[in-house]
A and B are shown apart, each in its own frame.
Chain A
Amino acid sequence: MIYFVSGYLVFLGVLFLYLFKISKDLGVISVKLGELESRVMNDH
């Protein structure tokens, strides 16, 4: 039973960590992109 539960927890854990990583990266880049775009708009 412990192996079965561990297998599913590992699957969910790895997936969750990866999704957390991409959403964090996407958030950081979106903010940077927004800042740059507004700076460009202000310059023009």
Chain B
Amino acid sequence: MKVLFVITACFIFGAFSMVFFYAPSEATQGIVQKIFYIHVSSAMTMYLGFFITFLSGLMYLGERRLLWDEVASSCAEVAWVFCSIVLLTGPIWAKPIWGTWWTWEPRLTTTFLLWLMYSAYLFTRSAMEDSSKKPLVSAVIGIVAFIDVPLIHYSVKLWRGIHPSVVSTKGGLPYSMKLTLAVCTIAFFLLFFVVSFYRFRLEQCKNRLKYMIEEGN
């Protein structure tokens, strides 16, 4: 784990160095466009986290092992943090470019909806802290909420919003920007795994403590 921690730290340092010193400023937007690297990388990490939550939810429904609930809840919480970063950095970038902090545009609205659904997931878990049905209920919410992820991804094409489509097969970014984005995304993925691992250990400790208290009674 220590090795992964060091690799993650190196990648984050490298990614931020590339953003500040290697990636060029965009011709029309200027330096503010560099928010793009944290905004898009956080969005990718959020997708990854919610996808693991979705898979772990399915595994829990299939096997009913507490381990899958611990994995799902840890990843959901960390992915929710990345989703919050997406929703906070987006408006900071939108204000100087679109002239408004927020607009009820399809991609923004569906992303906000996703944030609300996983907020409900986390609230439900904390409200059902002592219930034996907590893993089952949260697995179902985690799976149902994931339906919104493909909607976010295809919302730009489906409803013709003003939000740009970043990942496309045609044209797009120059090589230096693509490389910086790739390094940032890898760094964020690694950061996600490190933080999720610690969150997973926390969840395991919580369950162990609960089990010991129940045994004591």
Contacts and interface: CB of A to CB of B under 8 A. Distances in A.
Interface in B173-202: 191, 195, 198-199, 201-202
Nearest to A26: B202
B31 A1 contact: yes
Contacts of B191: 15
Contact of A22 (B92, B195, B213): B195
Q: Find the residue from B38, B42, B85, B195 having the highest chain A CB count within 10 A.
A: B85
Size range of the chain A interface in the assembly:
20 to 34
B199 A22 contact: yes
A19 to B, nearest CB: 7
A26 B202 CA distance: 6
Nearest to A43: B216
Does more than half of chain A's interface fall in helix, strand or loop, or is it mixed?
helix
A10 B205 contact: no
A29 B195 contact: no
B206 interface: yes
Interface residues of B, number: 30
B4 interface: no
B198 A26 contact: yes
Interface in B79-122: 81, 84-85, 88-89, 92-93, 95-96
Interface string A9-44: 011001100110011011001101100110010000
B81 A29 contact: no
A8 B38 contact: yes
Contacts of A26: 198, 201-202, 205
Interface of A: 1, 3-4, 6-8, 10-11, 14-15, 18-19, 22-23, 25-26, 29-30, 32-33, 36-37, 40
Interface of B: 31-32, 34-35, 38-39, 42, 78, 81, 84-85, 88-89, 92-93, 95-96, 191, 195, 198-199, 201-202, 205-206, 208-209, 212-213, 216
21 contacts: A3-B35, A3-B93, A4-B32, A4-B35, A7-B34, A8-B35, A10-B88, A11-B42, A14-B84, A15-B191, A19-B195, A22-B198, A22-B202, A26-B198, A29-B205, A32-B209, A33-B208, A33-B209, A33-B212, A36-B216, A40-B216
